[in-house]
Amino acid sequence: MTATTQPPSTPTEATWRGKLQEDQPDTSVEKTAAPGQARALLWDLLRPHRATVAVLAVAVIAENVARLAVPRLVQIGVDDGVPPLRDRRDGSTLTWVIVALVVALLLQAGLRMFFLLRSGRVGQNVLLELRRRVFRHFGTLDVAFHDRYTSGRVVSRSTSDVEAIQEMLENGFDGLITAVLTLIGTAILLLTLDLKLGLVCLLSFPFLVLLSLWFRRESAAAYRQVREISALVIVQFVETMTGIKAVQAYRREPRNQQIFGELADRYQQINIRTMRLVAIFMPGVKLIGNLTTGVALLYGGYLAMRGEITIGVLTAFLLYLRMFFEPMQEITQFYNTFQSATSALEKLAVVLAERPAIADPATATALTQVRGEVAFEDVQFSYVEGRPVLPGLDLRIPAGQTVALVGTTGAGKTTIAKLMARFYDPQHGRVTLDGHDLRSLDQQDLRRHVVMVTQENFMFEGTVADNIRFGRPEATDEQVRAAAAAVGAAAFIEALPEGYATDVAKRGGRLSAGQRQLVAFARAFLADPDVLILDEATSSLDIPSERLVQRALRTILADRTAVIIAHRLSTVEIAHRVLVLEHGRVLEDGPPAELTSADGGRYAALHRAWVESLA
C-alpha cells in the first residue's frame, strides 16, 4: 500500500517545468499513507453515526429478507398454491401466499425508502465532516508546509479528492450492503435448498476471491495515480486562470494548450487504465457466475433425472443462483468506487496526519496587556538546510519604537518580519514579545497583537467594507470609515458606485493595485495591533497617497511598536531607528539622521543615491 508510484512525466514537461530539487519526485512533498490509514479515517468519520448505521443495517437486513422472500413466496405459490387451485379449486394457500407477498412488498418499499433517506443523510454528514476537517486542518498547518504543498494541491485535495469519496458514499454504500446481504442470504438459501448442489456452486468462491485480490492490488496503484495526475491537471488549470492576463498578453495560449493537453492526456491514460482493470474484473466475475450456473444446470439436471431433487427445486435453485451472481456486479462496481475513494482517503488521511510545525503550546501564556517589546535572541534561521538566511541575529526593539529595515533584496528583511509574526520558528534562539517566547503563546492571540501587511495584500470576495473589517469583524461602519479616512482611502472608496458596499470582485480585481494597498492598509490600521509590520506595503501608491499614509503612520505608530520595510527612504525617515541589513546581519543601527551623516556608511550612500534620484 505504501509503494510510491511516480507517474511518468510528459514529453515536453522536462523542458518547461524546471528543477526544484535534485533527484526528488514532485510528489515527495506528500508522504505516502501508512497501511490502513485510509480505513481508519473512514471509521473515524463513521463513528458518530454508529447508532444510525446499526439501525440501517437492521433495516437493510429486514428489507432484504422481504425482498428475498418474494421469489421464494412466488415459488411456494406456484408449487403449492396453484396445483390445489387447479385440481381442487382450493385457493386458500394461494391467497395466503399473495397476502404474504403484498406484506413483503410493502415492507420492502417502506424499508427501502427509509434506508435510502437515512443512509443518504449519513453519507452527506460524513462528507460535511470530512470537508470541515480538511479545511480546518489546512488552516492550522504552518506557512512552511503551505510553501511546500502549494495552494493548487490544497484545492485539489479539498475538492476533487473529497468528491471521489462523495461518489462512494452516494452510489456505492447502499448497493454494497444490499449486495453483501443478498449474497449471504442466497448462499444460505442455496445450501438449505440442496446441500450438494449448493456446495458445488460455492466452489466458485475461491476464484472470485483470487480475482478480487488481483483487482485490488492493481487498482489501488492505478487510482493513486489518478489522484496524483488529477492534482497536476488542477494545478495547471488554476495557475492558468489565475495568471490569465499574462497568458493572453504574452500569447502563451498555444504553449499552455500543449502543456495542459499533455497533462489531460495523461489523465485520460490513467483513467483508461482503471477502466481496463474494471473491464477485466467485471466480466471475469460474470464469467465465473455463468460457468457456475452452467455447471449447476448440468449437475442439477443430472440429480433431477435421478430423482434426487424435484424440478421445482432445480428451477428455484437456478433462480437463486442468478440472484446470487447479480449483486456480484454491484459489489464489483462498489469495490471499484471504493478503491477510487480509498486512494483519495489516503491522500486526505496523510494531510490530516500532518502535524503543524508551528503549533500552539499545551498551556499558552495569555496575552493581556501587551507593551510591544520585541526581541530576537541569537536567532538562527534557514528555509533550506545549509543555507542560513539569518546566521545569528540579536535585536531588541523597545516597546513603541518604529524601526525601519533597509537592505538589498534577499538580505532577510521579510524573513525577520515573518519570524516576528511567527510564520516560521527559528531553528536556534528565540523570538520574544514582551519577554514571552512566541512559542509559548496562542497563535491567534499572538496575531491579534502582531499584524503584518505585505505586498500580497490579498482581497477576499466581498465588499470593500468586508475587506477592511477583515482584521476586526466586530468593527462598526463608523470605525471602518474612520480607518479608511485615516490612511487616505476614504476619497476613492466613496467615489466608487456603491461606496463601502462595492464588491471588490475576484481577488480585488475591481480595484487598482494602489487602491488595494490602501484597503490592506486600512485593514491593518483597523485591526489596531500593538506591533505592526509593514513589508513594502506602500510600493504602488502615488506620492501624495503615500505621504498621507506616512502621516497616518506617524500618528498611529506613536504608541506602538512598528517594523517598516520600504525602499523609499521617505517612508524610512519616519522611523526612530534604521537597521541596515546584509546577508541576515545588522550592519548599521541608529537613528536615520545619525546614519545619514555617518561618513562612508551604507545608509549614507543609499540616502545620497536616493536624493540624486529625486533630482
Ligand X SMILES: Nc1ncnc2c1ncn2[C@@H]1O[C@H](COP(=O)(O)OP(=O)(O)O)[C@@H](O)[C@H]1O
**Interacting residues toward Mg ion by CB under 5 A:** 414, 512-513
Q: Binding string to another protein for residues 56 to 85, with x set by CB under 8 A, is what?
A: -----------x--xx--x--xx--xxx-x
| Of 123, 106, 9, residue with least CA distance to 56 | 123
Q: Considering the rule CB under 6 A, would residue 510 count as an interface residue with ligand X?
A: yes
SS3 380: strand
Map grid coordinates 534561521 to a residue. 381
| Of 404, 392, 450, 397, residue with least CA distance to 423 | 450
Q: Considering the rule CB under 6 A, would residue 414 count as an interface residue with ligand X?
A: yes
Q: Which is nearer to another protein, 389 or 395 (CB)?
A: 389
Q: Considering the rule CB under 6 A, would residue 152 count as an interface residue with ligand X?
A: no
Bridge partners of residue 507, in order along the sequence = none
Contacts of 431 (CB under 8 A, 6+ apart): 374, 375, 376, 377, 379, 419, 420, 422, 437, 438
Q: Considering the rule CB under 6 A, would residue 35 count as an interface residue with ligand X?
A: no
Q: Considering the rule CB under 6 A, would residue 407 count as an interface residue with ligand X?
A: yes
Q: Are 598 and 588 in contact (CB under 8 A)?
A: yes
Q: Considering the rule CB under 8 A, would residue 614 count as an interface residue with another protein?
A: yes
**Residues 394-423 close enough to bind another protein by CB under 8 A:** 408-410, 414, 421, 423
Q: Considering the rule CB under 6 A, would residue 524 count as an interface residue with ligand X?
A: no
Q: Considering the rule CB under 6 A, would residue 413 count as an interface residue with ligand X?
A: yes
Say which entry of another protein, Mg ion, ligand X, none residue 40 contacts (CB below 5 to 8 A, set by partner kind): none
Q: Considering the rule CB under 6 A, would residue 412 count as an interface residue with ligand X?
A: yes
Instruction: Choose the stretch contacting another protein; rule: CB under 8 A; options: 19-27, 49-57, 192-200, 430-438.
Output: 19-27
Q: Considering the rule CB under 6 A, would residue 514 count as an interface residue with ligand X?
A: yes
CB of 244 to ligand X, least distance (A): 13
Q: Considering the rule CB under 8 A, would residue 360 count as an interface residue with another protein?
A: no
Candidates 25, 39, 250, 593; binder of another protein (CB under 8 A) is 250
Q: Which residues of 315-354 are buried (b: 16+ CB within 10 A; e: fewer)?
A: ebbbebbebbbebbebbbbbbbbbbbbbbbbbbbbbbbeb
**Residues 162-191 close enough to bind another protein by CB under 8 A:** 163, 171
Q: Are 467 and 523 in contact (CB under 8 A)?
A: yes
**Residues 285-304 close enough to bind ligand X by CB under 6 A:** none
Candidates 410, 559, 567, 609; binder of ligand X (CB under 6 A) is 410
Q: List the grid coordinates of 478.
A: 463608523
Say which entry of another protein, ligand X, Mg ion, none residue 609 contacts (CB below 5 to 8 A, set by partner kind): another protein
Say which entry of Mg ion, ligand X, another protein, none residue 437 contacts (CB below 5 to 8 A, set by partner kind): none
Dihedral of alpha carbons 308, 311, 312, 316, sign: positive
CB of 522 to ligand X, least distance (A): 15
Q: What does the DSSP assignment read for 477-516?
A: HHHHHHHHHHTT-HHHHHHSTTGGG-B--GGGTTS-HHHH
Bridge partners of residue 441, in order along the sequence = 365
Q: Considering the rule CB under 8 A, would residue 382 count as an interface residue with another protein?
A: no
CB of 569 to another protein, least distance (A): 7
Candidates 72, 131, 430, 585; binder of another protein (CB under 8 A) is 131
Give the sheet arrangement for strand 374-381, strand by strand.
Answer: 390-397, 374-381, 428-433, 436-437
CA 59, CA 107: separation in Å to the nearest integer?
A: 10
Q: Which is nearer to ligand X, 72 or 585 (CB)?
A: 585
Q: Which is nearer to Mg ion, 277 or 537 (CB)?
A: 537
Q: Considering the rule CB under 6 A, would residue 509 count as an interface residue with ligand X?
A: yes
One-letter amino acid for residue 170 of the chain: E
C-alpha to C-alpha distances, 439 to 69, 224, 381, 457, 563, nearest whole angstrom: 66, 37, 15, 26, 20
CB of 35 to another protein, least distance (A): 28
Q: Are 358 and 417 in contact (CB under 8 A)?
A: no
Q: Considering the rule CB under 8 A, would residue 357 count as an interface residue with another protein?
A: no
Q: Considering the rule CB under 6 A, would residue 511 count as an interface residue with ligand X?
A: yes
Say which entry of ligand X, Mg ion, another protein, none residue 47 contacts (CB below 5 to 8 A, set by partner kind): none
Phi, psi (rounded to 5 degrees) for 264: -65, -40
CA 310, CA 436: separation in Å to the nearest integer?
A: 88
Q: Considering the rule CB under 6 A, would residue 426 count as an interface residue with ligand X?
A: no
Q: Which is nearer to another protein, 38 or 446 (CB)?
A: 446
Q: Considering the rule CB under 8 A, would residue 158 count as an interface residue with another protein?
A: yes
Question: What secondary structure letter does DSSP report for 157?
Answer: I
One-letter amino acid for residue 250 of the chain: Y
CA 413, CA 535: separation in Å to the nearest integer?
A: 8
Q: Considering the rule CB under 6 A, would residue 147 count as an interface residue with ligand X?
A: yes
Q: Considering the rule CB under 8 A, would residue 52 count as an interface residue with another protein?
A: no
Q: Considering the rule CB under 6 A, would residue 512 count as an interface residue with ligand X?
A: yes
Q: Considering the rule CB under 6 A, would residue 488 count as an interface residue with ligand X?
A: no
| Of 422, 444, 417, 548, residue with least CA distance to 488 | 548
Q: Which is nearer to another protein, 220 or 533 (CB)?
A: 533
Say which entry of ligand X, Mg ion, another protein, none residue 365 contacts (CB below 5 to 8 A, set by partner kind): none
Q: Which is nearer to ligand X, 186 or 515 (CB)?
A: 515
Q: Which is nearer to ligand X, 147 or 253 (CB)?
A: 147
Q: List the grid coordinates of 255.
A: 504553449
SS3 375: strand
CB of 569 to ligand X, least distance (A): 16
Q: Which is nearer to another protein, 252 or 576 (CB)?
A: 252
Q: To the nearest 10°, the Cα dihedral for 383, 389, 395, 398?
A: -60
CB of 424 to ligand X, least distance (A): 9
**Residues 441-500 close enough to bind another protein by CB under 8 A:** 443-448, 451-458, 460-461, 470-471, 473, 478-479, 481-483, 485-486, 490, 492, 497
CB of 383 to ligand X, least distance (A): 3
Map grid coordinates 513589508 to a residue. 535
CB of 301 to another protein, least distance (A): 5
CA 124, CA 209: separation in Å to the nearest integer?
A: 31
CA 504, CA 462: separation in Å to the nearest integer?
A: 6
Q: Considering the rule CB under 6 A, would residue 383 count as an interface residue with ligand X?
A: yes
Binding positions for ligand X, rule: CB under 6 A: 147, 383-384, 389, 407, 409-415, 509-512, 514-515
